[in-house]
């Protein structure tokens, strides 16, 4: 999942990031995308330059550019904490992912100023009045490409008050995070197995079409197959199939094709290893042809789930139904 953080200066975003990093979250900051641009120009980084450069990037590439760039290199199997979200369009972009949650951090101005001053950073405001004046540049704007912290905070899914101690904040996060992290979506069994079949298809050596099938029993893959020339023969992509390598028109010269189909290979691989297919389910990236249909029926497979329609297969589908094999489509 992605937990996004927004809040005014000194509200506690950094300590929340450190907390989440200690719990296995990978850190990303939209400000890092701005820093990359500043470093390219050879300028020194300070608060004013960060604001101006960020506004310039949004003006040139759109108000969501920082979020879009930050999301470009995220892995699906990691949890992320995303810091420095300051524009509503960035929130909209991140919400394209169903696993995104925006946390807003809030604290009283006096407390935030004290924290900011205690950090000891160069150019930090030395009075509350200057602190609030500098902050006002980030809060509201009618320009959609500029920072709009107030509007962004208003979009938060949850607001976390951080006027107390670090221990109090940690206890609040300990209560807040488990329900959030349990809200992820798992793929259905159909999506899971069809996605595996699509990966298997990438192993195909056929130059005309990549097709694969997997056979499942008791939610366990028992056999896989992809289309290509028979065991021991020269691969299709190495010149092994005369029909494919002559670029024959679709539906013609089928008697010259040496490639076995994905469903055919999955069934024969099961036979090769002595695995019964009675009552199994076959997932295939294309609906089966007539030849594979007959093998499916006689192997005892009870259900066929396909991703895409195979051309000229009306007779195959009617035969499956006639023989009591369930047939349905699941697009991935």
Q: Are 6 and 102 in contact (CB under 8 A)?
A: yes
* Strand-pair partners of 306: 284, 329
Q: Are 5 and 60 in contact (CB under 8 A)?
A: no
As given in the structure block, the two tokens for residue 256 are: 């010259």
Phi and psi at residue 261, in whole multiples of 5°?
-80, 160
Q: In what order do the strands lie in the sheet with 2-7?
A: 26-29, 80-83, 2-7, 100-106, 158-161
Residues 6+ apart with CB under 8 A from 265: 213, 225, 226, 227, 228
Task: Using DSSP bridges, classify how beta strands 212-217 and 281-286 pair: parallel, antiparallel or unpaired.
Answer: antiparallel
CB atoms within 10 A of CB 85: 29
As given in the structure block, the two tokens for residue 239 are: 């010149």
263 is catalytic: yes
DSSP per position, 276-328: --TT-EEEEEE---HHHHHHHHHHT--EEEEEEPPTT-HHHHHHHHHTT-EEE
**Position of tokens 């997997």?**
214
Q: Of the listed 33, 135, 263, 264, which one is catalytic? A: 263
Q: Are 152 and 86 in contact (CB under 8 A)?
A: yes
Would you please indicate which residues are annotated as catalytic (active-site) residues? 263
């Amino acid at each position: 999942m992605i937990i996004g953080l927004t809040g005014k200066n000194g509200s506690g975003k950094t300590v929340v990031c450190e907390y989440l990093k200690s719990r296995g979250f990978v850190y990303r900051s939209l400000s890092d995308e701005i820093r990359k641009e500043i470093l390219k120009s050879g300028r020194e980084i300070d608060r004013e330059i960060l604001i101006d450069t960020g506004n310039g990037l949004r003006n040139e590439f759109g108000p969501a550019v920082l979020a879009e760039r930050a999301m470009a290199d995220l892995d699906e199997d990691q949890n992320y904490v995303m810091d420095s979200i300051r524009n509503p369009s960035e929130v909209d972009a991140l919400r394209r992912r169903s696993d995104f949650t925006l946390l807003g951090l809030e604290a009283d101005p006096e407390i935030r100023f004290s924290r900011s001053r205690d950090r000891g950073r160069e150019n930090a405001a030395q009075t509350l009045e200057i602190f609030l004046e500098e902050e006002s540049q980030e809060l509201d704007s009618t320009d959609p490409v500029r920072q709009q912290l107030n509007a962004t905070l208003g979009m938060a899914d949850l607001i976390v008050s951080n006027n107390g101690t670090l221990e109090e904040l940690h206890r609040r996060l300990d209560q807040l995070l488990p329900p959030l992290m349990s809200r992820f979506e798992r793929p259905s069994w159909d999506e899971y197995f069809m996605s595996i079949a699509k990966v298997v298809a990438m192993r195909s050596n056929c130059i005309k079409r990549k097709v694969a099938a997997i056979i499942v029993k008791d939610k366990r893959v028992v056999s896989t197959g992809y289309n290509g020339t028979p065991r021991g023969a020269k691969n299709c992509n190495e010149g092994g199939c005369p029909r494919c390598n002559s670029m024959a028109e679709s539906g013609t010269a089928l008697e010259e094709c040496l490639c076995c189909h994905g469903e055919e290979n999955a069934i024969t691989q099961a036979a090769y290893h002595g695995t019964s297919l009675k009552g199994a389910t076959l997932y295939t990236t294309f609906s089966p042809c007539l030849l594979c249909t007959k093998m499916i029926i006689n192997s005892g497979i009870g259900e066929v789930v396909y991703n895409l329609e195979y051309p000229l297969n009306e007779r195959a589908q009617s035969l499956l139904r006639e023989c009591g094999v369930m047939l349905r489509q699941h697009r991935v």
